[in-house]
Structure 1
Amino acid sequence: MVRYAATEIEPAKSARARGAYLRVSFKNTRETAQAINGWKLQRAVTFLENVKEHKEAVPMRRYAGSTGRTAQGKQFGVSKARWPIKSAEFLLGLLKNAEANADAKGLDTGALIVKHIQVNQAPKQRRRTYRAHGRINLHTCQTPATSSSSSPRLRRLSRSPRRLLAVRTSA
C-alpha cells in the first residue's frame, strides 16, 4: 500500500498519482511543483507544456542561487525564473496519469484542481559516479500528487473560539 502525505482529501472525489525514484533534479522539480500547486488541472498542463516550449518560466523562490533573471518571471512577482524542461516532462506525465485515474473513477476532469503536490528527495544512490570537473550525477526525487474536484468552500459563522460553525457556500 502506498502512503500519501495528504490524507484528509476525500478519496471518492479525488485522483492520485505518484512518481518514485525519478531521475530528475530535486530542486527544479520542487520549484515547478510549487508553481502549479492549487491550479486547475488543465491550466497546470498548459503551463508545463509552455515551459517546455520556453513560453512561460517557472519562478525560482527557494533554490534560486545563481539563477538568471528573465522577464517571464513577472507574472509570479519574481525576477529569477528558469525553464526546467525535464522536470516539466515528469510532472506533465504525473498530471496526465492523475487525470486518467480521475476519468477511470468517473470524475469530471474539467473541474479538477491540483490540491496537493509535494516533492521529496529520494534515497541517495549507493555508488555515485564522479565526473570530470567535480560533477556528480543527479540525485533523484519522489513526487506524490493529488487532484481533487472543486468542492464548496466553508465560511465561518461565528468568530467565538469555543463555537466554530461552518456553512457550505458555492465557490
Structure 2
Amino acid sequence: MRIELVHEAPTHETAWVVAAYETPVSDHTWHLTATGATPAPVLQDLLVDLADGDEWNMAGAAPVDETTVAAATMPLADAGWKHTADERWIRWTSPARDAGVQFDSFVAQYPNQSLATWTVWAGPSLNRATWILTASAHTPSSLLAGLYENLAHGDGTRRHSSGTRHKPLHLPTAPPAVTLPVPGTRPGPHR
C-alpha cells in the first residue's frame, strides 16, 4: 500500500493518492485519489479505515458487480439519498443536493484499466464541486461503504458528525476545488 500526499498541489487537482499493490514492483490493484480541498474529516476517516483494515492490501480485490455496488452504497440508500440511473451512470445525491456519488458502469467493464469508476463529490454540483474523490473499479467495497457512511452523515460536506471517532489529524483545509484529472498511471515516489 502506498499513500502519497502532494503538498503543493492546487486545491482542484489531485493531492492524495492511495494505491494498493500485489507486490512492491507490480502495477496497482486499486487506487483512490482526492483533491487538495477534500475536507480533513473525510481524509481522517479514510486514513483511519485504511490503517484499521488488513483487507485493503489484498491482491486482486473483487471485481465490481451489482453485489459490490449495492454493498458499497447501502449507507447512501439508508440515509435517503436519491438514486438515479441511465445507460452509463448510476448516481446517488444527498437530500440537500450538496453531495453525490457517481458510478460509471461503462468504465467498470474495463477493470484492468486505471480509470475512475467511482466519483464522490461535494458542492453545488459535480461540475462545480468543492472537492472530488475518485476510486478505481477494484477499490474494496467495504472501504467505499465506510467512506459513503461518513459522507451520508455529513462528514466534511455540510456539517461535522456529532461524534468524531478519532483524534483530529490537523490537516490543512483549502479553498474550493473545481476539477480532478483522471489518474492514468502508477503514482511516483513520495514528494
TM-score by structure 1 length?
Answer: 0.28
TM-score by structure 2 length?
Answer: 0.26
Q: Looking at CA atoms only, which structure, 1 or 2, has the larger radius of gyration?
A: 1
